[in-house]
Structure 1
Amino acid sequence: MSKISMYPVTLEGQSIEQKRKEIRDYFHNTFDLFEKVFELLQDESVFYKKSEPTRHPMIFYFGHTATFFVNRLMSMQIIYERINPEFESLFAVGVDEMRWDDLEESRYRWPEVSAVRNYRNAVRKLVDELIMRLDFTLPIREDSAMWIILMGIEHERIHIETSLVLHRQMPLEYIKDVPEFNICTHSAEAPQNEMVTVRGDRVALGKSKNHHLYGWDNEYGSYEEVVKDFQVSQFLVSNGEFMEFVNDGGYETKEYWDEEGLAFLQKSNAKHPHFWVKENGVFKYRALSKIIDMPQDWPVDVNALEAEAFCRYKSKKENKEYLLPSEAEYELIYKRANLKDVPALHESRANINFYHYASSCPVDEFGFNGIYDVIGNVWQWSRTPIRPFKGFEVHAAYDDFSVPTFDDKHALILGSSWASSGNLIMKHSRYAFRKHFFQNAGFRYVITQNSKDESGDVYESDELVSQYCEFQYGDTHFGVENFAIACAKIAAKYAINTTKALDLGCATGRASFELAKRFDRVEGIDFSVRFIQVGSKLQEAGYVAFTCKEEGELSINKKVTLQDLGYEELAQKVSFWQGDACNLKPSFTAYDLIMATNLIDRLYNPRLFLDTVDKRLNADGILMLTSPYTWQESSTKKEFWLGGYKDENGNAVRTIERLKDILHDKFELLHVEDLEFVIKETARKYQHTVSQVSVWKKR
């Protein structure tokens, strides 16, 4: 198995050409390993089956990682032409059960597997060519085009592991043996778990932008915590140890489960771990492609809710308080193990990177200074919800990697698994999943007096998103009406039919809710998940909380609710989606109104949007455009600007005149007006802008 796995690329050292070769080898190795994972599927028909109802068919994931490369390269203007616009929309989003992940099968027409294979080959060729010709300097930093290549590679590494989990959840008849994925063949009785004392210390988490390895945005920044002495289990919880919980009625005893856990039990009807199979009254174990006798000394595979329930059970049984480790406590466990940033020197004594097995192995096989499986075997659920470190900044190419998980619903997983490679096995990596998700994950427990990581209101601290929250949901300033409300009023005035509306470039969603006062259904779409999660949260949690900057480092917290806004009866009429206005899914259609708010001067190809928007409107449909026409090359390559320049004869080209030329054959211009808006930056600094509104009726 080690022949097709590989360690990640460092960002420094070697010559440019040596580094180029290293990245190229790493890319092809990753692409090969990902496709090897899909050889586990019995035949092509299985590509169209789901491992569980909350996931797409496997064909989606097969295409997803390739489209990721193209979509990110497009968004960062490294390339300007798509390979297959249909695929790059179809396979773009939908992997984490977010409200904006569209799992409605009627909206999809999945392509042939051969077509997706051909597409993947085309993407492989494109990326290979880019690696060989892109200019870059060493060390590679996040503003480098080569960083986006590394981002695509590490993204695919994540999906190597998560796809293996999905395949393992498939009925056994859909999965076949693949020689490269050989599982561990030995097991014994489960060892007795003992507690080991870990000395407390001041813990500093996070890393600087000068770090020598690729990192996701959530890894950067800083966080400090003083951790007291605590005790940690020597081993991961084994199948044998967890069996006591199952046999003692743990899944039937409500007091061991919190509200979320009880909801999981009701929905799943679980009576034992997901990868246990009961045959003739005896529990067996589902490995990747076979069912085997229960390996008592392998780590149990459970979700966080099951791990928490076990801790409550053990706490009651022994009259002690057992918890999952925190992120800070795990840092001290890692430190005790004397592990480095890249655990290459330790690969022979850790079950990671497919080095030993394509499965778990006994929990007492790989020790680290008295604590076993500090890394490897299975991920370890923590009690810490993933949150940004101080100084967190999103990467513009992938703003939805971390931010949607900062909701106190995603728990950090620690330590990596047998299927982890690349960034997944790095010291600073931070990955989190919803508590009911199944991964290659188990747990260990601690006895501790340290913080319990209680949840509360989650305040939006991203400066740009907070600014838009204030813009759309905050106070009005200098007598200027709320822009979202004003736009919705104009749209409602000119709308002829009111069945369905599209709020395109919806940002944090205020106008979408306002349109719902007139329309039966409203869909809000924005390119940025950072924005649409605000409106989505308002629907789901009933409130939006954000930080409003006042002066320097001083800020105030604000919170608005559905009730405050008068949207209680409107919320269910609205849905929010992530999408690219220049390449929307075919299912986004049949609108009576499309309102594109301050959008066209931020699109990478506004003409592409305008040339096709009529196809998404019903007869007598209304198109409403607003824009201050602040064209900039960072958003739109100059050759794609619609206005704001002089033509070859020296004549000024105005955007509104170009809009008339472009839209004339398909639309009748009904109305033009100026509409001002004010965005608060601080208590004493505001942006005062005038947007031009143009209203068009489909001919």
Structure 2
Amino acid sequence: MKYIADTINLSKGTVEEKREQIKNYFLQTYELDEKLFDLLKDKKSIYEQPNRLRHPLIFYYGHTATFFINKLIVGKLINKRVNKHFESIFAIGVDEMSWDDLNSENYTWPEFEEVKAYRDEVKKLVLNLIDTIEFKMPINWDTPMWVILMGIEHENIHIETSSVLLRELDISHFGKKELFTYCTEYKNEYPKNELLDVSANEVILQKDRKNPIYYGWDNEFSYHKAQIKEFKASKYLVSNGEFLEFVEEGGYSKLKYFSKDGLKWLDFSQAKMPTFWIKKDNKYYLRQIDNIVPLPLNYPVDINVYEAEAFCKYKSEKLGFEVRLPSEDEYYRLYDYVNAENKEANIGLKYFNQTPVDKYNFDGFYDVKGNVWQWSITPTYPFDDFETHPVYDDFTTPTFDDRHALMKGGSFISLGNETLRSARYAFRKHFFQHAGFRYVKSNNDYRTKLNDNVYETDELISQYCEFHYAQEYFNVKNFPKNSIELLKPYLKDVKKKRALDLGCSVGRSSFELAKIFDEVLGIDFSANFINVGVKLKKYDNLIYKIKVEGEIFEDKSVSLKDLGLDKVKNRVEFMQGDACNLKSIYTSYDLIFCSNLIDRLYYPQKFLDDIPKRVNKGGLLVLLSPYTWLEEYTPKSNWLGGYYKHNKEVKTLDTLKQNLNKEYELVDLIDVPFVIKETSRKYQHSISQMSIWKKK
């Protein structure tokens, strides 16, 4: 079967033509995702966990449908959930971020048939939206249809990542049916690699948010330019045969080849050869997605960054000069040099496996795109005027941590946005992703770190860093710290084992609570916000930019040590979550602390129906809010107060009492002022009301 490999041109055609294209594109992606799981012999296998750092397969089967609903709600294209429970348990935990909860024992997964029925319901809803949603051409990231495309391209990513998880699953779980086309040009020999010249030239990346031509993720937009000097690159991707030389010379046991982090991975994995190789009776075999074949020496090797770096050091010894992984910009230069855009490649599911490294010729080089992703030496970093998309603000920002490396070129199973030159995908360096590499001999400059300092450049996040961690203004005490200080007298008779800081923002109150409680969990809807807390835990320091005037900014810094919080940071964890649709595992807390949260929720009544049940008997629920209800955040029909009903004022505190009085005693009300600095001459001065409720 020939698949639509290319993503859709968003700048040409009529609205109705585009509807039809997007509908076909959606159906292909949605059905292909399900077809992958049809490879399993029986559906019980979908509850297996092939990789202990990832969820069981059933999570990924449900996740891509849930993503559509959650993003359509955030984008205000729908206002009603399909299945609240599913849209909680299948929502988060996909990428291996440090705040993900990957303990499978915490979940009771639904039956496969229930999840399939849910997927069918979501499919019907999305098809209806594609038919009816109003939009104009060209489609850009402010267009409502962009959210649909976001869901489709997100599912394309998961078709690939799920195929890797299937490849890690024991082969006994697969049937004998062949649902895809396989390349069988297996050879027990491989072409000798060599270094070829790539001429010097300028590299330019340019993608416009207003007229992007094709769908793109946030990190692809803006303008980037680099001047690349002449360098040499390997003619072929490193083949299994070339890599076998490294293995048979004991490369995995020669620790000098591995970086410091590489040695940690080596100790963790105890690897002696690539993860998809199998050795039996002194013969090597290759595990493909759903079969095992004698190791084709002419196919590209699948490895992670640490293995690729080690091989480059080994190869440098052999050659007598240094070779390394290419930088992202060197990859772009090679791509342009051979006009890879217009060359045939093993990409877009032409085959369901890799192909020989000498099959697809790119003007003398081979596989400049396709076959396997190519690791680069470059960490994920933002272009100068990087912006997050408001509907998916955590696509890239959690990877700005020097622990994710950019991959280029796509693989045999890559579709849509993944096939574009402009695509910028990154994975953690120890992960496997149908990824191989080529090596370069080069004197070009390249970055190996995102920054010497952990840097936060987003203006809104920087404003909240200032609010949480900076000095006092106009004699108004630091709000998060002061809130916890004011709360302390009410905690005397409360157990101090577990606290939940819900709506934790950039984390100051979570760290302050850790001075009192044994365990503190900070949860926020925005991964960008909680990433500040994650960075502070890891690095202790953070530098951020705060606006002075117009386009003038100044650098500010925060240190947990200076604030006296470094000794308690290990008591704190941060996770992403939706306060109106929280996972069931978040329960049994001695304190739930919600600061300036309820008047920013899209459905605060759902929050009030659910959260009080999660507090232990005798524990506290603490709500702070200035009650600034705005339709920008909360539909007016969902406000808890600030309106008239039957000619009577409805105030938020009265609604809280109606909801909580049965199970809770209102202990006290305290006014807590706060100041938010916007510029050096503009500040917000507000007063939040702290209501302290004790569970009866």
TM bin (shorter chain): over 0.9
Match for 1:479: what amino acid? N
Match for 2:201: what amino acid? D
Match for 2:620: what amino acid? I
Please give the alpha-carbon distance, in whole angstroms, between the structure 2 residues aligned to 1:276 and 1:177.
21
1:91-490 correspondence to structure 2 within 5 Å: 91-188=90-187, 189-209=189-209, 210-340=211-341, 346=343, 349-355=344-350, 357-455=351-449, 456-490=452-486
Please give the alpha-carbon distance, in whole angstroms, between the structure 1 residues aligned to 2:432 and 2:662.
53
Match for 1:336: what amino acid? Y
Match of 1:698 in 2: 695
Match of 1:71 in 2: 70
Please give the alpha-carbon distance, in whole angstroms, between the structure 2 residues aligned to 1:671 and 1:11.
56
* Structure 2 residue matching 1:54: 3-state secondary structure: coil
Match of 2:496 in 1: 498
Does residue 655 of structure 1 match 2:652? yes
Match of 1:688 in 2: 685
Please give the alpha-carbon distance, in whole angstroms, between the structure 2 residues aligned to 1:224 and 1:306.
30
Match of 1:594 in 2: 592
Please give the alpha-carbon distance, in whole angstroms, between the structure 2 residues aligned to 1:59 and 1:265.
29
Q: CA deviation at 1:6?
A: 4.1
Match of 2:521 in 1: 523
Match for 1:490: what amino acid? L
Match of 2:553 in 1: 555
Contact 1:39–1:178 (8 Å) recurs in 2 = no
Please give the alpha-carbon distance, in whole angstroms, between the structure 2 residues aligned to 1:266 and 1:255.
14
Q: CA deviation at 1:656?
A: 2.3
In the TM superposition, what whole-angstrom CA distance separates every residue of 1:560-612 from its partner, at most 9, and x where no partner exists?
A: 33322222331221111111001101111111111111111111100110122
* Structure 2 residue matching 1:408: 3-state secondary structure: coil
Please give the alpha-carbon distance, in whole angstroms, between the structure 2 residues aligned to 1:469 and 1:206.
31
Give the one of 621, 624, 627 matched to 1:626: 624
Please give the alpha-carbon distance, in whole angstroms, between the structure 2 residues aligned to 1:57 and 1:134.
35
Unaligned runs of 5+ residues in structure 2 are none
Please give the alpha-carbon distance, in whole angstroms, between the structure 1 residues aligned to 2:179 and 2:196.
36
More displaced, 9-18 or 234-243? 9-18
Match of 1:81 in 2: 80
* Structure 2 residue matching 1:565: 3-state secondary structure: coil
Please give the alpha-carbon distance, in whole angstroms, between the structure 2 residues aligned to 1:370 and 1:647.
76
More displaced, 68-77 or 542-551? 542-551
Please give the alpha-carbon distance, in whole angstroms, between the structure 2 residues aligned to 1:259 and 1:530.
28
More displaced, 324-333 or 663-672? 663-672
Please give the alpha-carbon distance, in whole angstroms, between the structure 2 residues aligned to 1:138 and 1:474.
45
Q: CA deviation at 1:53?
A: 1.0
Please give the alpha-carbon distance, in whole angstroms, between the structure 2 residues aligned to 1:391 and 1:106.
42
* Structure 1 residue matching 2:190: 3-state secondary structure: coil
Q: CA deviation at 1:690?
A: 1.8
Please give the alpha-carbon distance, in whole angstroms, between the structure 2 residues aligned to 1:358 and 1:619.
55
Contact 1:502–1:591 (8 Å) recurs in 2 = yes
In the TM superposition, what whole-angstrom CA distance separates every residue of 1:522-556 from its partner, at most 9, and x where no partner exists?
A: 11110001011111222223333322333333333
Aligned residues: 690
Contact 1:606–1:641 (8 Å) recurs in 2 = yes
Q: CA deviation at 1:27?
A: 0.7
Q: CA deviation at 1:417?
A: 0.5
Please give the alpha-carbon distance, in whole angstroms, between the structure 2 residues aligned to 1:553 and 1:527.
29
* Structure 1 residue matching 2:29: 3-state secondary structure: helix
Q: CA deviation at 1:519?
A: 1.4
Contact 2:379–2:448 (8 Å) recurs in 1 = no
* Structure 2 residue matching 1:34: 3-state secondary structure: helix
Contact 1:385–1:410 (8 Å) recurs in 2 = yes
Match of 2:21 in 1: 22
* Structure 2 residue matching 1:14: 3-state secondary structure: coil
Unaligned runs of 5+ residues in structure 1 are none
Please give the alpha-carbon distance, in whole angstroms, between the structure 1 residues aligned to 2:321 and 2:685.
60
* Structure 2 residue matching 1:314: 3-state secondary structure: helix
* Structure 1 residue matching 2:377: 3-state secondary structure: strand
Please give the alpha-carbon distance, in whole angstroms, between the structure 2 residues aligned to 1:171 and 1:67.
27
* Structure 2 residue matching 1:624: 3-state secondary structure: strand
Contact 2:523–2:577 (8 Å) recurs in 1 = yes
Please give the alpha-carbon distance, in whole angstroms, between the structure 2 residues aligned to 1:166 and 1:56.
10
Match for 2:687: what amino acid? V
Q: CA deviation at 1:458?
A: 2.5
Q: Structure 2-normalised TM-score?
A: 0.97
Please give the alpha-carbon distance, in whole angstroms, between the structure 1 residues aligned to 2:403 and 2:35.
32
Contact 2:348–2:413 (8 Å) recurs in 1 = yes
Please give the alpha-carbon distance, in whole angstroms, between the structure 2 residues aligned to 1:19 and 1:182.
29
* Structure 2 residue matching 1:205: 3-state secondary structure: strand
Please give the alpha-carbon distance, in whole angstroms, between the structure 2 residues aligned to 1:160 and 1:143.
26
Q: CA deviation at 1:167?
A: 0.5
Please give the alpha-carbon distance, in whole angstroms, between the structure 1 residues aligned to 2:12 and 2:224.
29
In the TM superposition, what whole-angstrom CA distance separates every residue of 1:185-227 from its partner, at most 9, and x where no partner exists?
A: 1133211112111122222224111121111111111222221
Contact 2:641–2:655 (8 Å) recurs in 1 = yes
Match for 2:190: what amino acid? A
Match for 2:236: what amino acid? F
Please give the alpha-carbon distance, in whole angstroms, between the structure 1 residues aligned to 2:289 and 2:177.
10
Please give the alpha-carbon distance, in whole angstroms, between the structure 2 residues aligned to 1:550 and 1:190.
61
* Structure 2 residue matching 1:437: 3-state secondary structure: coil
Contact 1:459–1:557 (8 Å) recurs in 2 = no
Match of 1:667 in 2: 664
More displaced, 413-422 or 592-601? 592-601
More displaced, 109-118 or 412-421? 109-118
* Structure 2 residue matching 1:204: 3-state secondary structure: strand
Contact 1:366–1:373 (8 Å) recurs in 2 = yes
Q: CA deviation at 1:262?
A: 0.3
Please give the alpha-carbon distance, in whole angstroms, between the structure 2 residues aligned to 1:441 and 1:381.
7
Please give the alpha-carbon distance, in whole angstroms, between the structure 1 residues aligned to 2:549 and 2:251.
53
Match for 1:596: what amino acid? C
Please give the alpha-carbon distance, in whole angstroms, between the structure 1 residues aligned to 2:544 and 2:516.
28
Match of 1:583 in 2: 581
Contact 1:505–1:524 (8 Å) recurs in 2 = yes
Q: CA deviation at 1:635?
A: 1.2
Contact 1:631–1:644 (8 Å) recurs in 2 = yes
Please give the alpha-carbon distance, in whole angstroms, between the structure 2 residues aligned to 1:206 and 1:687.
37
* Structure 1 residue matching 2:286: 3-state secondary structure: strand
Q: CA deviation at 1:8?
A: 1.8
* Structure 2 residue matching 1:564: 3-state secondary structure: coil
Q: CA deviation at 1:680?
A: 2.1
